[in-house]
Structure 1
Amino acid sequence: MNELTPSPALLCANCGTALQGEFCHACGQSIHSVLRPVSHMLEDAGDLFLHMDERIVHTLPPLYTKPGFLTLEYFSGRRIRYVAPFRLMFVFCLLAFFFVHLAFSDVRFGDDDEAAPPDSVGAIHAAKTPEDVRRLYDAQIGELDAAIANPDLPAAAKKGLELGQDVVRDAANRRLAELKADPIPAPVGHAAPARAGDERKWTHEPTVVDIAWLPDVVTRRIAVGIGHFKANIARLGEGGEAKAEALKRMGEGFFSVLPQTMLVMIPVFALILKLFYAFRRRLYMEHIIVALHSHAFLFLSLLLLMVLGFAKDAIRPHAWPAASLIGLVQGIMWVWMPVYLLIMQKRVYRQAWPMTILKYWLIGSVYFWLLLFAVTVAFFIGASH
């Protein structure tokens, strides 16, 4: 008589436990080998970054079109089909600020030196050669001399024009120093503008930070940051290439700390929700999930707005009706953002509309001022790069 013999069980290579499924129920190791083709490695990298599988398909549409749906799904225990809230928020935060940085990278602040009129100090800052500097200087000083020579000009106005001559000469000499050329001497009988006071400005004073209760390494780092901040402010006052370089450095520093600032604001926003919904008896972690999903939606919206803005600028010269349509879509998206958050708050916390609207306004006001303060701090940190 034939006897049935059990088939040999597949054992875990790590602990030797009989396997049932793709993971060992004793130690958790996968049955799949790590020695795989490069294509599988890229797939694993995508999964590690954003779970680039069917979960992203199940997550993005409801995240943008169904306020509160993902949060309620998490509260109900149905989580495996969706991307984790923190990963979702973190990835869209980085992508959104990356595109915002791209959008602002070409923005010029202040006067456009290259387009400055020839009778302005900005034209001297933008001069490329010492000859151009001296030519612009002579032209501007000549106009000021002609105005000063007017006998009908009041004495106070003449003093103002003489100060203007000092400003022009100072700007020209600063630009000549950058171009490694000889400075323009002051006219005979005319005192050069006093520069000794510059060394007494706060931007030129030595930075000393002495906080007894902080470690020395922290105080040194604060002192270095303050020194960089004062150096950037001083460069802004110089104009020309120095000003452009300082603005670029401060902008890059600001955008480098902005994502970290928003990560700090997530638990702050959850704490505000906890305080306003203290009688709903919800755990703080539940408010964290609400904060993560709401910020993920905002960062996704910002990302889409930036992408549509780039597309609109690209096609406007060729198809302005399509660009106008994109602009209309962007307007609708801006309106949808506050409406989405209001509906999400109503569905998650399930209070009557009057109380929901009141708390929505109060929470938004408190969070706005806290966010403004955080962004201001981020700006000063960025300016210290």
Structure 2
Amino acid sequence: MNPLTPSPGLRCANCGEELKGEFCHGCGQSIKSVIRPVSHMLEDAGDLFFHMDERIVHTLPPLYTKPGFLTLEYFSGRRVRYIAPFRLMFVFCLLAFFFVHLAFSDVNLEKAASGEAPARDDIAAFHAAATADEVHELYQGQMDELNAARGAPGLPAPAVAAIGLSQDMVREAANRRLAELKSEPIPADTHAEPGEKHGYRHASPWALEPTVVDIAWLPDVVTRRLAVGLAHLKANVAQIQDGGPQKGEAIRRISEGFFSVLPQTLLVMIPVFALILKLFYVFKRRLYMEHIIVALHSHAFLFISLLGLMLLGFAKEGIRPHFSPAATAITLVQVAMWVWMPIYLLIMQKRVYRQGWPMTLLKYWLIGSIYFWLLIFVLCIAAILGAAH
């Protein structure tokens, strides 16, 4: 009779060690194969980004209702039940600013959604023109306004250039509508001076040449990027000062640029806020990483609050025409959320750093004041970057 031999267990495909769990204790490789159906890969990607499992149930309620609880749990080493601080903050930062951007964009879309006719000084008015004569009338009126603006004394060269560009845009919009109406296009100005063919009229050479930034100690690629950004900024500001048809487009570009850089800009504030906490609580002998966790949880709470305020705002606007008492109740909830935000941060600071109320209140006011002015500075930087979009 042959002796019984134990069946060999699973071994790691990478190092050959016997497996006793989901990961090899020799090299750390997972037992899961990457050669799997696409549906499993999408599931893993969603789990990696959102961690939409039972952890979110254990994380969000205490994060919003128990100031400092989640941070103290991390300090105590109880982490597996909760979403990681950085992932939590990052996901809700993106979601919050997505809905904030949507809310600001919705302000500009309200007029279009209401069905009102576009203004006669708007390029969109050409699309509503029913006849070629109406197109010519709109074209002449807009061109007269732009010519009058261009003739203003002391107008800066960038504004003059922007007006010329606006005139070309008006002509192109009018010709597109005339082509749809099967009518003759409006001819371009054949007597244009050099530079006018590109939308610039009576502009100085400085306005016609590209902006040059020459900083010797910076790499060439950085100086070129700065020159492009400065040129965009001047063009956007000039179009806004012009007040012509391109004003709305320039504002839209600046808004898009601002919201595109805002999340990344605010991420810089996380280590800065942690450094402020480190300086104010230097005698607590806490590691800088502990202050980072405090900063991450604080900002995650603020982003969740902002997201909730935006969602409630959308719900209120949808409910108000049908049931105004419910809209009033939502407004009261929003007010309570705004009041809870500073109270939450104060209680969190008291529970995490364990100091008396007088010292906590003093440090809370000083830290809040410093962070407020730093935040204003960062938002101004984001606005400048947005204007250079």
Cα 1:264/1:323, change in 2 over 3 Å:
same
**Structure 1 match to 2:82:** 82
- The residue number in structure 1 matching 2:138 is 132
TM-superposed CA distance for 1:32, in Å, is 2.6
Kindly indicate whether the alpha-carbon contact (under 8 Å) linking 2:166 and 2:245 is maintained by their aligned counterparts in 1: no
Q: CA deviation digits over 1:282-341, x for unaligned, max 9? A: 111111010001001101111111111111111111111111111111111111111110
Distance 1:230 1:203, change over 3 A: farther
Deviation at residue 125 of structure 1 after TM alignment:
4.8
Structure 2 counterpart of 1:306: 310
1:270/1:290 contact within 8 Å kept: yes
Tell me if the contact between 2:121 and 2:245 (Cα under 8 Å) persists in the aligned partners.
no
- Of 163, 179, 183, the residue aligned with 2:170 is 179
Structure 2 runs not aligned, ≥5 long:
127-134, 153-159, 172-185, 189-199
- Specify whether residues 368 and 40 from structure 1 end up closer, same or farther in structure 2 by C-alpha distance, changes over 3 A only: same
Q: Is contact 2:163-2:244 (8 Å) kept?
A: no
The aligned amino acid for 1:130 is: H
> 1:371: how far off?
0.6
Change (3 A) 1:5 1:328: same
Aligned to 1:152: none
* Aligned-pair CA distance for 1:9: 2.1
Calculate the aligned-residue CA RMSD, in Å.
3.5
Structure 1 residues 306-345: aligned runs within 5 Å:
306-345=310-349
C-alpha contact (below 8 Å) 2:166/2:246 kept by paired residues: no
Which residue in 2 is equivalent to 1:92?
92
Unaligned runs of 5+ in 1: 141-162, 184-195
Counterpart Cα distance in 2 of 1:373 and 1:172: 32
Deviation, 1:108, is: 4.3
Task: Name the counterpart of 1:225.
Answer: 229
Partner SS for 1:208 = coil
* 1:250 partner amino acid: I
Residue 50 of structure 1 deviates from its aligned partner by 1.9
Partners in 1 of 2:205 and 2:378 — Cα distance? 28
User: C-alpha distance in 1, partners of 2:259/2:204?
Assistant: 32
Distance 1:98 1:345, change over 3 A: same
**2:214 maps to what in 1?**
210
How far has the Cα of 1:36 moved from its partner?
3.2
Q: Which of 232, 246, 265 pairs up with 2:250?
A: 246
Deviations 1:154-177 (A, max 9, x none): xxxxxxxxx99966xx99999765
Amino acid paired to 1:325: A
1:362 aligns with 2:353: no
Write the distance in 2 (CA, Å) between the matches of 1:288 and 1:264.
12
Whether contact under 8 Å (1:203, 1:233) holds in the other structure is no
Q: Which residue does 1:47 correspond to in 2?
A: 47
Task: Give, in whole Å, the separation in 2 of the partners of 1:172 and 1:63.
Answer: 53
Could you tell which deviates more after superposition, 38-47 or 62-71? 38-47
Mapped partners of 2:257, 2:315: distance in 1: 27
* Other-structure match for 2:270: 266
- Rounded to whole Å, the distance in 2 between the matches of 1:343 and 1:93 is 22
Q: Distance in 2 between matches of 1:34 and 1:22?
A: 14
Matched length: 344
1:4 shift after superposition: 6.6
CA distance in 2, matches of 1:352, 1:107: 46
Deviation at 1:38, TM superposition (A): 3.9
Instruction: After TM superposition, give the deviation of residue 31 of structure 1 in Å.
Output: 2.0
- Check the 8 A contact 2:139/2:170 in 1, yes or no: no
SS state at 2:268 partner? helix
8 Å CA contact 1:137–1:172 kept in 2: the answer is no
Moved more, 212-221 or 200-209: 200-209
How far 1:376 sits from its partner (Å)?
0.2
Partner of 1:63: 63
Is structure 2 residue 96 aligned with structure 1 residue 107? no
